[in-house]
Structure 1
């Protein structure tokens, strides 16, 4: 039986863990919340309360990593600063601290959940493939790009990076946060991916043993932001969104051809 440790068993990690359990994996899951430990235990996940900080890890991280075949890192940067210096790079320092424990554990395979935010928006709008050099224009994107390099350049383990577009699901859609805001770049591609496809792609990478790779995934990317949000508002029965019309749209079109070709994966949600 293979054991997978999911660092950050939250909105994506928890349903992924449940799916992996059904496929016969043993799953360890980490959370920063004590109240979730019983939830994990009740569904068959081995629970761990772990707090990853810039220069230390609080909790039994050694036990969490011990006898693990694959470590899945699914912790978002959660940054709010806009002008951090290298010394202030909280998320990067967390990853550096984690790497020391990964090396000691002897784990050979790591799957890092990153984001297409490692690519900044551009004008004119361009197509982005895995060969495109990251050019982040946000603080979280910058730190994710550095974290990707730190993990993939480490000789002690193999790391596959999966860059997801904007995450959506049955209980999550960006239009809910944009109801009372003016939406910029209405003519840019939307670049979203459903939780169901995130799980499917991760499970395919695990099954196919695809390591030392970079994949990017955006299943909903054939519509503009204007078209998608207008249709979504109609579907949900809410008022039409307001778009920024005075400034030319910039953005990026995330292509997922490598996933479709190498993993033979077909996206389940494309609109």
Structure 2
């Protein structure tokens, strides 16, 4: 019997995952849009119209012995995320009752905050500063407390880059400070390779970092990226200062996954 992979929030990242795993697993994707459901059907994916906070039964009917990929980020402009967190934990409870086999949660390295200059590994303490990061930590902790019941994989992603997505574009032409802060990025190709391992092989029950292995100053890197992308560069202060900011160490996670990241250097991402 083909394994079910249920992806909540079938957006940009899920599109790459779906293409990579098509034919290997039976993919069900949730979306808030009826039109998107129809578009997913044309791609061979069963679309489920669902908004976080709705009755989860429409999702749970697919979850018996399945993998659930939770990929529903809070809105970027949201400041009070208690409802988002409550809805996510309610969906997790419903999934457990439905007999889900494995939950993969797409989290973020922002759970560590931005006030440290340390090398951060998978066991480092979280220090969330934004409301979004605090919500991610709350959901992570809720899931980690369930590891005696099911396999739980927490993926803390650095800033995402892809063939059609690079943060240099959103920084173009802006005047910014802290050019000496280090860059923590990950390419969608490497994220997909990690997810193929996690979903297709024995699940990894714990926390993983997905990040490149080098960390240039952003005041240097984004200028070079802008030149390569032929866009107006941003203007950074403090670039000449000594490097500062957190470094996400992902060596152990890539080794645990058995994946050698193709985009281990952010300069290979443009």
| TM-score, normalising length: structure 2 | 0.90
Q: Residues 2-81 of structure 1 correspond to what in structure 2 (within 5 A)? A: 2-22=3-23, 24-53=24-53, 56-57=54-55, 60-65=58-63, 67-81=64-78
Correspondence for 1:268 among 226, 238, 262 = 262
Q: Distance in 1 between matches of 2:239 and 2:154?
A: 37
Q: Deviations over 1:192-248 (max 9, x none)?
A: 111111111111122331332110111263321112101111111222311133997
Q: Distance in 2 between matches of 1:164 and 1:183?
A: 23
Task: Sort the Cα spacing of 1:230 and 1:128 in 2 relative to 1 into closer, same or farther, 3 A.
Answer: same
Q: Distance in 1 between matches of 2:245 and 2:35?
A: 40
Q: Are the aligned partners of 2:176 and 2:234 in contact in 1 as well (CA < 8 Å)? A: yes
Structure 1 unpaired stretches of 5+: none
Q: Distance in 1 between matches of 2:123 and 2:22?
A: 34
Q: Identify the residue that residue 134 of structure 2 maps to in structure 1.
A: 142
Structure 2 unpaired stretches of 5+: none
Q: Identify the residue that residue 218 of structure 1 maps to in structure 2.
A: 211
Q: Distance in 2 between matches of 1:240 and 1:52?
A: 38
Q: SS at the partner of 2:48?
A: strand
Q: SS at the partner of 2:113?
A: coil
Q: SS at the partner of 2:171?
A: coil
Greater shift, 31-40 or 238-247, is seen at 238-247
Q: Distance in 2 between matches of 1:197 and 1:183?
A: 29
Q: SS at the partner of 1:92?
A: helix
Q: Distance in 2 between matches of 1:229 and 1:41?
A: 39
Task: Sort the Cα spacing of 1:58 and 1:204 in 2 relative to 1 into closer, same or farther, 3 A.
Answer: closer
Q: Distance in 2 between matches of 1:246 and 1:264?
A: 35
Please state how far the C-alpha of 1:133 moved relative to its aligned partner. 0.7
Task: Sort the Cα spacing of 1:148 and 1:247 in 2 relative to 1 into closer, same or farther, 3 A.
Answer: farther
Q: Distance in 2 between matches of 1:231 and 1:44?
A: 40
Q: SS at the partner of 1:131?
A: coil
Please state how far the C-alpha of 1:74 moved relative to its aligned partner. 0.9
Q: Identify the residue that residue 193 of structure 2 maps to in structure 1.
A: 200
2:115 is equivalent to residue 126 of structure 1: no
Q: Identify the residue that residue 110 of structure 1 maps to in structure 2.
A: 103
Q: Are the aligned partners of 1:160 and 1:213 in contact in 2 as well (CA < 8 Å)? A: yes
Q: Distance in 2 between matches of 1:36 and 1:68?
A: 26
Q: SS at the partner of 2:34?
A: coil
Aligned length: 262
Q: Are the aligned partners of 1:120 and 1:251 in contact in 2 as well (CA < 8 Å)? A: no
Q: Are the aligned partners of 2:158 and 2:210 in contact in 1 as well (CA < 8 Å)? A: yes
Please state how far the C-alpha of 1:58 moved relative to its aligned partner. 6.6
